[in-house]
Amino acid sequence: MLRGDSFLTGIFVVAGAGLSLGATNVSPVFKFGWGENIGWLNWRDADGGAAGVRVHATFLSGFIWGENVGWINLGDRPADGMAYQNAPSADFGVNIDPTTGNLFGLAWGENIGWINFDMRAALGPTGQQARLDYTASRLRGYVWGENVGWINLDGAAVYVAWMPPAYLTIFADPDDDYDVDQEDFGVFQACFSGAGVPAADGCERFDRPQAGFPRGDNDVDEDDLAAFLACVSGPAVPLNEGCAN
């Protein structure tokens, strides 16, 4: 329970600006895909990682760098905070089905045009659709470029992996000292975005699992505040790992 209400009283202000917790969450080791006609595709290192690909709960964002084809844009956060509409040229990008991990939507290559990530109908029957493998924290399957053919995300030794947040087991403890206290709440405040508004990169630890969104719904809002409050243990008091469920 709360260790006195004092630290929560009157200090809950939204302070999202200035939070800087990194951009890409693609693995520095496993960061390459392979296009049969275009060669290696680097998912991490655009602009030193600042513009590299990031895996969110329900979408991807950022840029791939192709050695032979230049930039490929996976999207710049959905307009509604949840999923790109792919109209297609407005609000385009690659979405994640949060329950299956299947990818769908469009990416845009500056020199190669549209890349279709939705292989659910074409390759789903053989299990080769583009998708996130949550167990292995890596991408699998294939996508299709209108001008470049197949792009393989499923190499045995060379593939794209990402570093998932630890929220599924350790929620609301961004300083990793195994308590949930006022210091953690300070970070929560900086992460608070409001309902339906994507939280800043690095705030996934506060985006609780919920029905339909087992890895969070991309925002840090009142629901997440309620979960946070249910998890407060106090300074140096061990947290309850199941508190957010």
Binding site for Ca ion (CB under 5 A): 173, 175, 177, 179, 181, 184, 195, 207, 217, 219, 221, 224
Give the nearer residue to Ca ion in terms of CB position, either 125 or 212. 212
Give the chain's largest Cα–Cα span.
Answer: 62
**For helices 222-231 and 182-191, what crossing angle results, to 10°?**
170
The least distance separating Ca ion from the CB of residue 168, rounded to whole angstroms, comes to: 14
DSSP 211: T
Residue type, 80: D
Q: Could you tell me the smallest distance in angstroms from the CB atom of residue 57 to Ca ion?
A: 8
> Phi/psi at 29 (nearest 5 deg)?
-95, -50
Nearer to Ca ion, 117 or 192 (CB): 192
Q: Is 64 or 191 the residue whose CB approaches Ca ion more closely? A: 191
* Shortest distance in whole angstroms from residue 188 CB to Ca ion: 11
Cα 39 from chain centroid (whole Å): 26
Q: How far is the CB of 184 from Ca ion (least distance, A)?
A: 4
Nearest to Ca ion of 65, 167 (CB atom): 167
Amino acid at 239: L
Q: 171 with 230: CB under 8 angstroms?
A: no
For Ca ion, which is the closer residue by CB, 118 or 217? 217
> Residue 132 Cβ, how far from Ca ion at the closest point, in Å?
19
Any residues with CB less than 8 A from the CB of 169 and at least 6 apart, and which?
Answer: 241
